[in-house]
Amino acid sequence: MLDDFMTRATLAGIGTALAAAPMGCFVVWRRMAYFGDATAHAAILGVALSLALSLPIFAGAVVIALLMATTVALLSGRGYAMDTLLGVLAHSALAFGLLAASFLTSVRIDIMAYLFGDILAVSRSDLAVIWGGAALVLALVAWRWSALLTATLNPDLARAAGIDPKHEELVLTLALAIVVAVAIKVVGVLLITALLIIPAATARPFARTPETMALIATGVAIASAWGGLRASYAFDTPTGPTIVCVVAILFCCSATVSGLRRLKVRTD
């Protein structure tokens, strides 16, 4: 069954959706969209270093993403606004990553595949990495769900309950780094943030509890991955951007329905 490239691509999309959607909810709740974008941009430097040192790309991307998060944590509050700091680090890491990749003359690298994804070229080993990473992210989120949620909603309440918000932020950062490393092959570093944020934003108007929002976001992400893959195959379009276009259309539908519901409430 895994000999069929479309089957492998579908499984890769579903695995990435399972990892990205729950994390995307925390990114939306914490307003960390720019942080997720910076982490994704930094991953290209991890890809280049991994290829130069003959290391697994997944490992390099995770390490660089964690270094990015650590650097932000150390420099924040020292005279730099957070958005400025993230902008400098994100684009610097992306530029250095692209520059490092250009020096890899002994290694053939398709930089466009890492920037925009190449889900149709997913191999069995890539599937193992994607699903292994997704399982690890889901296990982390399930294990720390209550603590993560409390620290996200009210840090003071978390401290009163004996929860260290900084520790939960570290867990969240680790999970985010894993998601970025997993999603590189599917949608690429430039589109990872969209797969994190848009499903969660799509689910938000229809969720009454955080758990419901995470479940709806996961469903939206899976539907987008499957629909984008099929649309890409039918219309011969780039798969990663097509997946993001599908989830963007779903978001527009969600926003329209939510707006109509609010209008109805006002007129009743």
> CATH code at 168?
1.10.3470.10
| Rounded (10°) angle between helices 239-267 and 192-203 | 20
CB proximity list for 144: less than 8 A, separation 6 or greater: 168, 171
CB-based burial label for 188 (10 Å; 0-12, 13-18, 19+): buried
Selection from 185, 249, 149 nearest residue 12 by Cα: 185
CA distance 194 to 249: 12
CA distance 242 to 211: 28
Total tally of structural domains belonging to the chain? 1
What are the pLDDT digits (tens) for 199-254?
A: 999 999 999 899 999 999 999 999 999 999 999 989 989 888 999 999 999 999 99
What are the pLDDT digits (tens) for 84-96?
A: 777 788 888 888 8
pTM for the structure as a whole: 0.88
Dump the DSSP string for 213-250: HHHHHHHHHHHHHHHHHHHHHHHT--HHHHHHHHHHHH
User: Nearest 5 degrees, angle CA 157-CA 175-CA 113?
Assistant: 145
Give the pLDDT of residue 43.
82
Domain with 169, as residue range(s), is 5-267
| Rounded (10°) angle between helices 33-52 and 192-203 | 150
Give the pLDDT of residue 77.
59
